[in-house]
Amino acid sequence: SQTIHQWPATLVQPVGSPLSLECTVEGTSNPNLYWYRQAAGRGLQLLFYSVGIGQISSEVPQNLSASRPQDRQFILSSKKLLLSDSGFYLCAWSGHQNTEAFFGQGTRLTVV
């Protein structure tokens, strides 16, 4: 069966520090991968998605970037965090047909 791992679960970082969140998927190959951000009490905002290694599409201009160095690995990064980067970050994967997306357990990022 397929599983998605996302870490760390919580993170407190000072303003101006770098960020690296990692997500890996097991049990499937060539998945679509996604990074979402969820602000407190709000919906899910799509940040990046990837349909293959090295292929990254950005949905909104921001202080973040994403990379896909391996088929089942998706990384969310920032060189210098802003206070506004605080939020709940979710990684997800889906198959290449129009099927359901499966989410990781999320990372609660607090920038102080």
Partner 1 sequence: QQQVKQSPQSLIVQKGGISIINCAYENTAFDYFPWYQQFPGKGPALLIAIRPDVSEKKEGRFTISFNKSAKQFSLHIMDSQPGDSATYFCAASRTGTYKYIFGTGTRLKVLA
| Secondary structure E strands in 1-112 | 3-7, 10-13, 19-26, 32-38, 44-52, 55-58, 65-70, 73-78, 87-94, 101-103, 107-111
Q: Which residues bind partner 1 (CB under 8 A)?
A: 6, 32, 34, 41-44, 46, 49, 51, 59, 90, 92, 94, 96-106, 108
Count Cβ neighbours within 10 Å for each residue of 66-102 and write b for 16 or more, e otherwise: bbbeeebebbbebeebeeebbbbbbbbbbeeeeeebb
- The residue among 10 and 17 lying less far from partner 1, judged by its C-beta, is 10
- The residue among 87 and 104 lying less far from partner 1, judged by its C-beta, is 104
Least CB distance to partner 1 at residue 71 (A): 16
Least CB distance to partner 1 at residue 15 (A): 24
- The residue among 80 and 96 lying less far from partner 1, judged by its C-beta, is 96
Least CB distance to partner 1 at residue 92 (A): 8
